[in-house]
Amino acid sequence: MSDDDLLFTPATTAASLIRRGKLSPVDYVETVLGAIAREQPRLNAFVEVMAEAARADAKAAEKAVRAGGKLGPLHGVPVNIKDLLDVRDVPTRKGSAIFTDAPPAPADDVLVARLREAGAIIIGKSTTPEFGNKGLTDSPPHGITRNPWNLSRTSGGSSGGAAAAVAAGLGPLGLGTDGAGSVRGPAACCGVVGLKPTLGTVPYETATDTYANNTFAGPLTRTVTDAAVMHAVLTGGASKDVWSLKGEDRRQLSPQLVGSDLSAVRIGYIPRCHNPRVAADVTANTAASLEAWAAMGAEVEEVQDEIDWIEYEGRVLYQAGFAVGFAQFLPRWQNQMDPVTLAFMERGDGFSLHDFRKAQFARTRLFHAIQALFARYDFLITPTTTRTALPVEFDAANDEVDVDGVKYGITRQGWTAYQYPFNLTGHPALSLPSGFGTDGLPTAVQIVGKWGAETDVLRLGALLEQARPWAQHRPPAG
């Protein structure tokens, strides 16, 4: 196998080769590190490359293979970690000048620890905008992370470094976080798979308010199977996340999805959420995905219900959280913070307690509306974004999104309107490639499932992946 082919080999395949002694973890990690060295100057996907630690872990992984003991499902496989989550002995800089000189983290985040227990090798920390604040990945201390399909376009945000790295073959797995679409948006921009799980399935111990949490951690991968395996590694209760302590087994597959005959499956297609427009190429590729499922027997119906997608109320919750959570940094750091962070904080400061409580009540109403849809449908399908990746210089606080030559509001209204509602309701949502746009960049479709039905969502995604293969496509090399 050539180095280029190895770099685009699925994680599950690589792990199988390692277990059988046909691939050396040492050679694998060295190949990935070499690719990172070549691509980092043009993509800027990493805040820190943990080369020496990764090499040491690869040697230990190779020794474990030779010893013949039990190996985890990701044994010897490199993974990048978004720089909002702790990796022991490495600073967590959060995309902010405030934490440029942060001390090394004393311990792994629980999810990083689970990846290590599964045998994965942490290859580095991937980029994020400041505090994961927006749908593009750039920050004052770390600069712009670019899309491997087109360097003038964004990799999405806020897990843009993780998605760009996976798309470019810089390790097959990335661990991202998703507070308003921050796994699914980058997946859509970079042509990879991104899963936002059900609230509580994967613990998120760094949430500032665990009871009102709307932020999730999930995999970014090139195949649905890799996402499923990584998700299984991450699931399970953790003491600091109250939502994760239910103790339910959420991995049971619904019987009607066991085979490839979807005659018992009902799909509700939502062409618009809060967005007034969607690009023609995105619409066409979404329709092709729906047709693929319909060809397997699924009943596909356009959802006609009038739903309040609470864009304004969602913004109240999001921006008020920034205003309160980061006010402590303003006296010393204001001049070194991202202007988008400051704009969100200023807007958040303008909301009243009544605005905030009304927004919380609206979140419940939205949950009820989605639950009502799931009384009729097994899945909800939308595009993931209204158009392909935005230009890297786009101002997420002020610029309007251009969809087929017409401007239609800021990102939450004009680009990512399909994503943030499901952070608020907690339902699982998977983004996977649906094709290419007329500009040559990836488009994506989103599958939303019933509460706790990640396995069903992944299965429906895998059937689309089989019908409309994607992983063979590679972005242009530098």
Q: How large is the average pLDDT for residues 259-266? A: 98
Q: Does residue 32 sit within a domain?
A: yes
Catalytic residue from among 24, 82, 126, 244: 82
Q: Is the pLDDT of residue 362 over 90?
A: yes
Residue pLDDT, tens place only, 316-339: 999 999 999 999 999 999 999 999
Q: Does residue 478 sit within a domain?
A: no
Residue pLDDT, tens place only, 430-454: 999 999 999 999 999 999 999 999 9
CATH number, residue 119: 3.90.1300.10
Catalytic residue from among 96, 155, 182, 244: 182
Q: 245: domain range?
A: 3-467
Q: Does residue 476 sit within a domain?
A: no
Q: Is 16 noted as a catalytic residue in this protein?
A: no
Q: Does residue 472 sit within a domain?
A: no
What's the pLDDT score for residue 85? 98
What's the pLDDT score for residue 69? 87
Q: Does residue 265 sit within a domain?
A: yes
Q: Is the pLDDT of residue 169 over 80?
A: yes
CB count, 10 Å around CB of 305? 10
Residue pLDDT, tens place only, 291-315: 999 999 999 999 999 999 999 999 9
What's the pLDDT score for residue 133? 97
Q: How far apart are CA 216 and CA 181, in angstroms?
A: 9
What's the pLDDT score for residue 1? 85
Q: Is 352 noted as a catalytic residue in this protein?
A: no
The domain tally of the chain equals 1
Q: Is the pLDDT of residue 248 over 60?
A: no
Statement: the pTM of the whole predicted model exceeds 0.95: yes
Catalytic residue from among 139, 158, 159, 289: 158
Q: Is 182 noted as a catalytic residue in this protein?
A: yes
Q: Is the pLDDT of residue 246 over 60?
A: yes
Q: Does residue 353 sit within a domain?
A: yes
Residue pLDDT, tens place only, 73-124: 999 999 999 999 999 999 999 999 999 999 999 999 999 999 999 999 999 9
